[in-house]
């Protein structure tokens, strides 16, 4: 279970929404989840799509934290994250319902997860190497 990329959660949620399991298909991404009246008099609203992005950013933090592990599971996690990014990319290019700005941002977060995971692993592995003289 430790090797499963957490970015799978927003991917699955988006696809469930895209196929109408949350009610309205792609249009439901614009549905207001909550609104807050600000002291300035303006009203700040958060849509379902915005919530997906916020959840994905929190998951990105957790994924980068997971990348600091030093085990064989970490390498498998990076591999699965790369596969998930490729699935994001293919779906973005081939599925009409995924051609939205929200899905693109989720895909970009997945890409950052892949790059950050490999970068953190390489940097921490470089500290493990010691040359005895």
Cβ count near 104 (within 10 Å): 13
pTM: 0.83
| Domain boundaries, position 108 | 8-123
Pairing status of strand 43-47 against strand 32-37:
antiparallel
The verdict on residue 133 lying in a domain is no
Residue 22: pLDDT band (50, 70, 90) is low
Q: d(Cα 113, Cα 119) in Å, to the nearest integer?
A: 10
pLDDT of residue 57: 96
- pLDDT digits 0-9 by tens, 86-126: 999 999 999 988 999 999 999 999 999 999 988 887 777 65
Q: d(Cα 96, Cα 2) in Å, to the nearest integer?
A: 32
- pLDDT digits 0-9 by tens, 26-67: 677 888 989 999 999 999 999 988 998 999 999 999 988 888
Q: d(Cα 36, Cα 46) in Å, to the nearest integer?
A: 9
The verdict on residue 57 lying in a domain is yes
The verdict on residue 31 lying in a domain is yes
Contact 84, 68 (CB under 8 A): no
Q: d(Cα 60, Cα 79) in Å, to the nearest integer?
A: 16
Structural domain count of the chain: 1
């Amino acid at each position: 279970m430790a090797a499963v990329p957490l970015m799978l959660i927003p991917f699955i949620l988006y696809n469930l929404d895209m196929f109408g399991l949350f009610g309205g298909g792609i249009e439901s991404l614009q549905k207001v989840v909550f609104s807050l009246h600000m002291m300035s008099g303006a009203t700040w609203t958060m849509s379902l799509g915005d919530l997906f992005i916020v959840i994905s950013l929190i998951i990105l933090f957790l994924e980068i934290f997971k990348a600091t592990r030093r085990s064989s599971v970490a390498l498998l996690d990076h591999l699965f994250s790369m596969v998930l990014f490729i699935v994001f990319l293919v779906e973005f290019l081939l599925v009409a319902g995924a051609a939205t700005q929200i899905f693109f941002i989720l895909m970009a977060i997945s890409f950052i997860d892949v790059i950050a995971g490999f970068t953190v692993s390489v940097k921490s592995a470089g500290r493990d190497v010691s040359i005895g003289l």
